[in-house]
Amino acid sequence: MLEGKVNSDICFQPNQNFIGIKMPYIVATPNETVPITIRNLTDKNISLRKGTNLGTAVEIDDVLENQNPEQNSITSRQINKDGNHSKKTEEVCQNMPENLKDLFERSKENLNEKECIQLAQLLIKFKNTFSVNDLDIGHSTKIKHRIDTGTSEKNTLRFSKEKRMKRTPLGF
């Protein structure tokens, strides 16, 4: 509860000493009740007693317009992950076949260095399971199987006059 008369806008600055609780900074006019949002960041219930000092309200004297808004801009840098992999990853990749290098480059995008090395070793170990081109995919004559079709000829269904199809009863 604020004591005294406030003539201009106020800025509420939350107390930072609470453990597990976060509150926002608030700018408000003096004639309104200001609700304060309190966020509990833990899994436990936190009780605040009546009269607990939640923060400080400071009267705002003057709002200064920023003459140069570019001063408030923030420049961020983007880090390219391709350069982060060490020489060890490159050494492992030298043994990789050409047809798997593109797969490796696309797959390592969100991996750290250790995972990249494991992926490269895995691809090299099972390099014979991947197709090199369209011509190495073919058919095999090693497995033969027979499909038993019963007594039917040429896999066609024949119905005799004695075995006509019947409608299914309603309660079936």
pTM for the model: 0.35
Distance, CA of 123 to CA of 120 (rounded, Å): 5
What are the tens digits of pLDDT across the range 126-141? 988 888 877 777 666 6
Band (146; pLDDT cuts 50, 70, 90): confident
What are the tens digits of pLDDT across the range 80-99? 444 445 677 788 888 888 88
pLDDT beyond 50 at 155: no
Taking phi over 0 as left and psi of -120 to 50 as alpha, with beta for the rest, 63 belongs to beta
3-state secondary structure of 63: coil
Cα end-to-end span (Å), the chain: 76
pLDDT beyond 80 at 24: yes
pLDDT beyond 60 at 154: no
